[in-house]
């Protein structure tokens, strides 16, 4: 019985080492979205006048029936021009991409789209930034994959690279299309 | 050429360490004096080689030799020379080199100052020390070579993170390392004792100065770190329960426990197993601290660049060192001879209680620090972090009994004591503390009773410390200078350290409850209030510094009819495009006035400067107390009893059938 007390420290340590080893394989900076498998938070955003597809705005209720991508971007965001060609390619491949211009003046958003092109099937302007808070946006660009029932299934933080699109998001979109 | 010399010296040091890890141990087993003597020479040789390597790297930084990758990545020509030199350890590779330098210096210290040590014990300690050296030197050489060249060499380097360009950085890490690495010596002592199967009073006496030698710089290092965070990071706080702060705090808590349990082992031969365990754990927690900072397992302001390969290496080292030591502990400790028994009211019992409480506090901090890592393994979806509310709820209630005990402990007699006698000795300080508590509660109001309690506890500790000296100086025949002169340095150390803890406690209590803040947008000419302060923003203008541009704001602060001027800067470092805040701090015994400026922002009344105003009552006491504790440790270390020969082992009779109290 007394011996057992002397063995306790090593037992505790083995457990700790296991946790530390596991921790090494994880990235502490990776933050999972609280929205995964939850419905998209409700929003109704005004459109961006005079931009192609700037249209009547964007409402959360319209995310139904087909899987879509929701891209949060801004003209001030440094990585967004870099991500833009990938978004255009995604749209050209027939996957609908919707955009939210975050904390961006509509005229700046317009100028950005005029310069880089417009891959978005529909667009909303979130100049006050409230919707982005509901979405849990931590920085631009971020992209949500929304399924047929309007639930968020995946969140990409940072720009979508061609590799991420081909390797992760495109297979997911195809799978979501096949879902009932 | 210099880089190659440094690199070569480091490789040689590794080879020497490998020999030192094996031969003296072999000598101790065989009783071969020559092999044991080799350990002493090897330890000195290793220290010289690593000093050459460190000197080479520092010179490269001084010369701004950008053909060395490390220099190019962490210093720039425009960076002032002292900060270029300090950049030697302001990065992962260089700080590892500093780590092994300190490690080898301690090794050389054991070889040099270990004349009165049992030679077999010294040989074993040196071997264990060298094993740690081998691991860290291999780590430095194979995963983080500080001397790697860069080709082509850039014309100018990327500058050291400006937050680190501060006198705080020049001293904070080396002191912490002296502490962390210092516990390697006690670790080696513990492992050597387990190998020899002997942990007697002599062993504890040899080890105690090394515990102090680690504990003192660690205490100063933590105090400086806290102060640095306060005035450089511009956060306006003195402790944040950041994982890396905790990583330095845990070895400190255990080191403090070790300091006290080693006294029991030295004086009474008891608690030997416990002392060994604490020595192993204190160093293990230092290693885990290193792991935390360098593996990227947790996010923290202190974290170096994330590199899983390094993390794996350090984890392997932790498993190797701690795992082996604890396995040895499980095998050997139960057979070790136990010391004398003691009553439930005695100095030993008091120190045991102190140890248990310190252990519990360490466990609390440990759990708070690692809970996120453990939770992630158990429930990956839950990303959580543990903040001050947890620590306030758990740490504070546990520390109150400990603080109460601090004053009682030194009044207890060894072996067996009587509560009534102890109570009589403590009557005066207890009465003063009670009056203090009542007065403070009346003054600050019942709502702030917790703060009053904290302040009174501080008073209790300071009174207790004074009482220790008073009782020594006023002998049976009244006060005598002879008694003052013959006071052992260790007693003065005890009084200083316990009083220091009292000042820190009072400072923390006042800061936690009575600090005032006001964060707002100000324009020149405007006045705002924070607690007892009335602050006017006089002007704000752009100025040029050595390697930065700054927005400098001047404030007039009024408090109780006295007026002072404070200056706060927001600095923009061009090379690294970093920003730092230099707070303006008005220091006094009663508290600090603190102003820090942020960005230019607009509010309803137009453009202005974001300003944070704080009143921090008694905050200086926190650091003053820390330094006083360190001073107490240093006084204790100077005690001549450590320098004269250790006592030979007394035979400690153990009545048959009695279970030793451990």
Chain B residue with Cα closest to A31: B383
> Cα B174 vs. chain centroid, distance in angstroms?
11
Asked if A6 is an interface residue toward chain B (Cβ–Cβ < 8 A), one would say yes
Q: A28 to chain B, minimum CA–CA distance in Å? A: 6
What's the rounded mean pLDDT across residues B617-629? 94
Q: A169 to chain B, minimum CA–CA distance in Å? A: 20
Q: Which long-range contacts (CB under 8 A, 24 or more apart) does B598-602 make?
A: B598/B570, B599/B570, B600/B551, B601/B521, B602/B521
Got the DSSP string for B529-591?
Answer: EETTEEEEEEEEEEEE-SSEEEEEEEEEEEETTEEEEEEEEEEEETTTTEEEEE-EEEEETTE
Higher pLDDT, A34 or B494: B494
Asked if A34 is an interface residue toward chain B (Cβ–Cβ < 8 A), one would say no
Rg from Cα positions in chain B: 27
Higher pLDDT, B307 or A166: A166
Q: B321 to chain A, minimum CA–CA distance in Å? A: 11
Minimal CA–CA distance to B185: which of B243, B273, B117?
A: B117
Chain B residue with Cα closest to A27: B297
Spatial distance between the Cα atoms of B188 and B121, rounded to a whole number of angstroms: 10
Confidence category of residue B297, pLDDT binned at 50, 70, 90: low
Best mutation target, A15, A21, A23, to test chain B (most B CBs within 10 A): A23
Which neighbouring-strand residues pair with B595?
Answer: B584, B613
Sheet holding B584-588, edge to edge: B516-522, B606-617, B591-603, B584-588
The verdict on a CB contact (< 8 Å) between A22 and B377 is yes
Please name the residues in contact with B188: beta carbons below 8 A apart, sequence gap of 6 or more.
B110, B124, B125, B126, B128, B129, B132
pLDDT at residue number A180: 67
**Is A79 inside any structural domain?**
yes
Contacts of B306 in chain A (CB under 8 A): 27
**Which CATH number does the domain housing residue A68 bear?**
3.40.30.10
Higher pLDDT, B378 or B264: B264
* Average per-residue pLDDT for chain B: 86
- Reported as type and span, the H/E element at residue B613 is strand B606-617
Angle between helices B201-231 and B92-113 (to 10 degrees): 150
Confidence category of residue B307, pLDDT binned at 50, 70, 90: low
Token match 């400790």: residue? B333
pLDDT at residue number B17: 97
Chain B residue with Cα closest to A29: B299
Using CB atoms, which residue from B291, B295, B330 is nearest to A6? Answer: B330
Higher pLDDT, B615 or B381: B615
Asked if B370 is an interface residue toward chain A (Cβ–Cβ < 8 A), one would say yes
The verdict on a CB contact (< 8 Å) between A29 and B322 is no
B304, pLDDT greater than 70: no
Higher pLDDT, B293 or A153: A153
Between β-strands A68-73 and A142-146, what pairing exists: parallel, antiparallel or unpaired?
antiparallel
The verdict on a CB contact (< 8 Å) between B323 and A17 is yes
**Are A80 and A140 spatial neighbours (Cβ–Cβ below 8 Å)?**
yes
Spatial distance between the Cα atoms of B15 and B582, rounded to a whole number of angstroms: 46
Asked if A16 is an interface residue toward chain B (Cβ–Cβ < 8 A), one would say yes
pLDDT at residue number A54: 67
Within 604-643 of B, beta carbons closer than 8 Å to A belong to none
Show the domains of chain B with their CATH numbers.
Answer: 1-165 (1.20.120), 516-619 (no CATH)
The verdict on a CB contact (< 8 Å) between A13 and B291 is no
Burial B428-463 (b: 16+ CB within 10 A, else e): ebbeebeebbeebbeebeeebeebbebbbbbbbbbb
**Are B46 and B17 spatial neighbours (Cβ–Cβ below 8 Å)?**
yes
Spatial distance between the Cα atoms of B40 and B624, rounded to a whole number of angstroms: 39
Best mutation target, A5, A20, A22, to test chain B (most B CBs within 10 A): A20
Structure tokens at B56: 């080479």
Phi-psi region of A136 (alpha: psi -120 to 50; beta: other; left: phi over 0): left
Phi-psi region of B657 (alpha: psi -120 to 50; beta: other; left: phi over 0): left
Collapsing DSSP states into helix, strand and coil, what is residue B295? helix
Asked if A38 is an interface residue toward chain B (Cβ–Cβ < 8 A), one would say no
**Is A141 inside any structural domain?**
yes
**Are B504 and B626 spatial neighbours (Cβ–Cβ below 8 Å)?**
yes
Within 297-356 of B, beta carbons closer than 8 Å to A belong to 297-299, 306, 308, 311-312, 315, 318-319, 322-323, 326-327, 329-330, 333-334
Contacts of B291 in chain A (CB under 8 A): 20
Q: Could you tell me the mean pLDDT of each successive run of 10 residues in chain A, 180 residues long?
A: 79 86 67 76 84 77 88 87 90 91 87 87 87 84 90 87 89 86
Structure tokens at B349: 């019992």
B509 burial type by CB count under 10 A (0-12 exposed, 13-18 middle, 19+ buried): buried
The model's pLDDT over B397-456, given as tens digits with 9 standing for 90+, comes to: 899 999 999 999 888 888 888 888 888 888 889 999 999 999 988 888 878 888 899 999
pLDDT at residue number B305: 47
Please name the residues in contact with B162: beta carbons below 8 A apart, sequence gap of 6 or more.
B548, B571, B573, B576, B578, B579, B580
B102, pLDDT greater than 90: yes
pTM: 0.81
Structure tokens at A41: 């938070």
Higher pLDDT, B60 or B308: B60
Domain containing A143 equals 34-178
Q: A19 to chain B, minimum CA–CA distance in Å? A: 6
Contacts of B280 in chain A (CB under 8 A): 9
Residue A25, Cβ neighbours under 10 Å: how many? Answer: 11
The verdict on a CB contact (< 8 Å) between B295 and A24 is yes
Spatial distance between the Cα atoms of A46 and B50, rounded to a whole number of angstroms: 67
B651, pLDDT greater than 50: no
Domain count of the fold of chain A:
1
Higher pLDDT, B290 or A75: A75
**Is A14 inside any structural domain?**
no
Which neighbouring-strand residues pair with A100?
Answer: A72, A124
Spatial distance between the Cα atoms of B140 and B386, rounded to a whole number of angstroms: 32
The verdict on a CB contact (< 8 Å) between B318 and A20 is yes
What's the rounded mean pLDDT across residues B626-631? 96
Distances (CA, A) of B194 to B62, B200, B305, B337, B412: 45, 11, 38, 12, 31
What's the rounded mean pLDDT across residues B497-525? 91
Spatial distance between the Cα atoms of B43 and B239, rounded to a whole number of angstroms: 38
Spatial distance between the Cα atoms of A69 and A90, rounded to a whole number of angstroms: 9
Best mutation target, A2, A12, A13, A38, to test chain B (most B CBs within 10 A): A13
Residue B517, Cβ neighbours under 10 Å: how many? Answer: 13
B662, pLDDT greater than 70: no
- What's the first-to-final CA gap in chain B, in angstroms? 57
pLDDT at residue number B209: 92
Asked if A27 is an interface residue toward chain B (Cβ–Cβ < 8 A), one would say yes
Minimal CA–CA distance to B139: which of B22, B282, B290, B296?
A: B290
Got the DSSP string for A6-27?
Answer: HHHHHHHHHHHHHHHHHHHTS-
pLDDT at residue number B653: 41
Asked if A163 is an interface residue toward chain B (Cβ–Cβ < 8 A), one would say no
Q: What angle do CA B436, B440, B445 make, to 5 degrees?
A: 155
- Reported as type and span, the H/E element at residue A72 is strand A68-73
**Are B280 and B190 spatial neighbours (Cβ–Cβ below 8 Å)?**
yes
Spatial distance between the Cα atoms of B147 and B141, rounded to a whole number of angstroms: 9
Contacts of B273 in chain A (CB under 8 A): 6
Q: B626 to chain A, minimum CA–CA distance in Å? A: 31
The model's pLDDT over A75-120, given as tens digits with 9 standing for 90+, comes to: 888 788 888 899 999 999 989 999 999 888 888 888 888 888 888 9
Contacts of A32 in chain B (CB under 8 A): 381, 383
Best mutation target, B190, B254, B296, to test chain A (most A CBs within 10 A): B296
Minimum mean pLDDT among B100-114, B292-306, B321-335, B609-623: which range?
Answer: B292-306
B383 burial type by CB count under 10 A (0-12 exposed, 13-18 middle, 19+ buried): middle
Which neighbouring-strand residues pair with B474?
Answer: B479
Q: A55 to chain B, minimum CA–CA distance in Å? A: 32
Confidence category of residue B647, pLDDT binned at 50, 70, 90: very low
Asked if B296 is an interface residue toward chain A (Cβ–Cβ < 8 A), one would say yes
The verdict on a CB contact (< 8 Å) between B329 and A9 is yes
Spatial distance between the Cα atoms of B46 and B9, rounded to a whole number of angstroms: 9
Asked if A10 is an interface residue toward chain B (Cβ–Cβ < 8 A), one would say yes
pLDDT at residue number B134: 96
B347, pLDDT greater than 50: yes
pLDDT at residue number A106: 85
The model's pLDDT over B374-405, given as tens digits with 9 standing for 90+, comes to: 777 776 666 667 778 888 888 888 999 999 99
Spatial distance between the Cα atoms of B327 and A9, rounded to a whole number of angstroms: 9
Best mutation target, A6, A17, A22, A38, to test chain B (most B CBs within 10 A): A6
**Is A143 inside any structural domain?**
yes
pLDDT at residue number A28: 55
**Is A53 inside any structural domain?**
yes
**Are B236 and B627 spatial neighbours (Cβ–Cβ below 8 Å)?**
no
B661, pLDDT greater than 50: no
> Cα B548 vs. chain centroid, distance in angstroms?
32
B490, pLDDT greater than 80: yes
Minimum mean pLDDT among A39-53, B99-113, B195-209, B422-436: which range?
Answer: A39-53
Please name the residues in contact with B50: beta carbons below 8 A apart, sequence gap of 6 or more.
B9, B10, B13, B97, B100, B101, B104
B244, pLDDT greater than 70: yes
Q: B303 to chain A, minimum CA–CA distance in Å? A: 12
Chain B residue with Cα closest to A2: B334
Angle between helices B201-231 and B243-268 (to 10 degrees): 160
Rg from Cα positions in chain A: 21
- Reported as type and span, the H/E element at residue B478 is strand B478-479
**Are B116 and B26 spatial neighbours (Cβ–Cβ below 8 Å)?**
no
Spatial distance between the Cα atoms of B540 and B553, rounded to a whole number of angstroms: 4
Please name the residues in contact with A115: beta carbons below 8 A apart, sequence gap of 6 or more.
none
Best mutation target, A18, A28, A32, to test chain B (most B CBs within 10 A): A28
């Amino acid at each position: 019985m007394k011996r057992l007390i002397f063995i306790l420290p090593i037992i505790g340590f083995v457990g700790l080492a296991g946790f530390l080893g596991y921790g090494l394989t994880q990235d502490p900076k990776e933050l999972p979205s609280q929205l995964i498998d939850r419905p998209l938070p409700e929003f109704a955003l005004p459109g961006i006048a005079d931009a192609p597809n700037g249209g009547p705005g964007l409402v959360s209720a319209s995310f139904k029936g087909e899987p879509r991508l929701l891209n949060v971007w801004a003209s001030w965001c440094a990585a967004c021009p870099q991500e833009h060609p990938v978004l255009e390619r995604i749209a050209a491949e027939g996957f609908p991409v919707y955009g939210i211009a975050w904390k961006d003046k509509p005229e700046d958003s317009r100028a950005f789209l005029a310069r880089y092109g417009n891959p978005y099937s529909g667009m909303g302007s979130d100049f006050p930034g409230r919707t982005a808070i509901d979405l849990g946006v931590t920085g631009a660009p971020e992209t949500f994959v929304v399924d047929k029932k309007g639930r968020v299934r995946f969140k990409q933080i940072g720009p979508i690279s061609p590799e991420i699109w081909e390797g992760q998001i495109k297979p997911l979109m195809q799978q979501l299309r096949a879902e009932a | 050429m210099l880089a190659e010399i440094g690199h070569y010296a480091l490789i040689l040091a590794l080879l020497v360490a490998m020999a030192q890890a094996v031969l003296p141990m072999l000598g101790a087993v065989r009783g071969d004096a020559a092999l044991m003597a080799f350990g002493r020479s090897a330890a000195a040789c290793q220290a010289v080689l690593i000093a050459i390597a460190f000197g080479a790297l520092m010179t490269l930084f001084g010369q701004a030799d950008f053909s060395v990758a490390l220099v190019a990545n962490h210093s720039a020509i425009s960076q002032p020379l002292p900060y270029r030199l300090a950049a030697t350890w302001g990065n992962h590779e260089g700080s590892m080199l500093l780590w092994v330098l300190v490690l080898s210096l301690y090794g050389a210290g054991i070889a040099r100052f270990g004349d009165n040590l049992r030679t077999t014990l010294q040989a074993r300690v040196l071997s264990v020390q060298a094993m740690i050296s081998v691991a860290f030197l291999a780590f430095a050489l194979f995963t983080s070579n500080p001397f790697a060249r860069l080709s082509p060499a850039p014309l100018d380097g990327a500058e050291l993170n400006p937050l680190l360009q501060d006198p705080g950085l020049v001293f904070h890490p080396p002191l912490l390392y002296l502490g962390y690495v210092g516990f390697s010596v006690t670790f080696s002592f513990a492992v050597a004792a387990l190998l020899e199967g002997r942990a007697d009073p002599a062993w504890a006496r040899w080890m105690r100065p090394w515990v102090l030698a680690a504990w003192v710089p660690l205490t100063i290092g933590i105090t400086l770190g806290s102060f640095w965070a306060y005035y450089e990071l511009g956060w306006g706080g003195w402790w944040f329960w950041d994982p890396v702060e905790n990583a330095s705090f845990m070895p400190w808590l255990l080191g403090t426990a070790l300091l006290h349990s080693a006294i029991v082992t030295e004086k009474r031969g008891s608690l030997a197993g416990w002392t060994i365990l604490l020595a192993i754990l204190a160093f293990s927690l230092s290693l885990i601290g290193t792991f935390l900072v360098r593996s990227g397992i947790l996010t923290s302001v202190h974290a170096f660049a994330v590199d899983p390969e390094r993390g794996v290496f350090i984890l392997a080292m932790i498993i190797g060192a701690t795992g082996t030591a604890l396995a040895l502990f499980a095998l050997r400790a139960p057979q070790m001879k136990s010391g004398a028994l003691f009553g439930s009211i005695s100095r030993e019992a008091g120190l045991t209680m102190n140890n248990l409480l310190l252990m519990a506090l360490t466990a609390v901090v440990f759990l708070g620090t690692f809970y996120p890592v453990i939770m992630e393994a158990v429930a990956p979806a839950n990303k959580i972090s543990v903040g001050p509310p947890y620590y306030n709820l758990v740490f504070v209630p546990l520390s109150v009994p400990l603080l109460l005990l601090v004053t009682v402990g030194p009044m207890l007699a060894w072996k067996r004591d009587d509560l009534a006698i102890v109570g009589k000795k403590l009557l005066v300080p207890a009465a003063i503390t009670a009056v203090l508590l009542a007065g403070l509660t009346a003054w600050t109001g019942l709502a702030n009773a917790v703060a009053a309690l904290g302040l009174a506890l501080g008073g209790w500790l300071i009174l207790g410390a004074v009482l220790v000296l008073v009782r020594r100086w006023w002998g049976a025949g009244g006060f005598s200078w002879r008694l003052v002169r013959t006071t052992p340095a260790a007693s003065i150390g005890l009084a200083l350290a316990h009083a220091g803890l009292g000042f820190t406690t009072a400072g923390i209590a006042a800061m936690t409850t009575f600090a005032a803040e006001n964060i707002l947008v100000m324009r020149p000419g405007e006045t705002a209030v924070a607690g007892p302060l009335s602050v006017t923003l006089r002007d704000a203008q752009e100025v040029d510094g050595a390697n930065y541009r700054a927005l400098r704001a001047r404030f007039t602060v009024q408090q109780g009819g006295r007026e002072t001027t404070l200056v706060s800067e927001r600095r923009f470092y061009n090379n690294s495009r970093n920003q730092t805040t230099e707070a303006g701090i008005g220091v006094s015994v009663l508290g600090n006035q603190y102003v820090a400026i942020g960005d230019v922002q607009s509010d309803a009344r137009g453009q202005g400067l974001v300003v944070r105003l704080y009143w921090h009552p008694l905050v200086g006491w926190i650091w003053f107390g820390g330094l006083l504790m360190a001073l107490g440790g240093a006084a204790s270390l100077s005690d001549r009893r450590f320098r004269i020969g250790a006592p030979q082992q007394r035979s400690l009779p153990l009545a048959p059938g009695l279970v030793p109290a451990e």
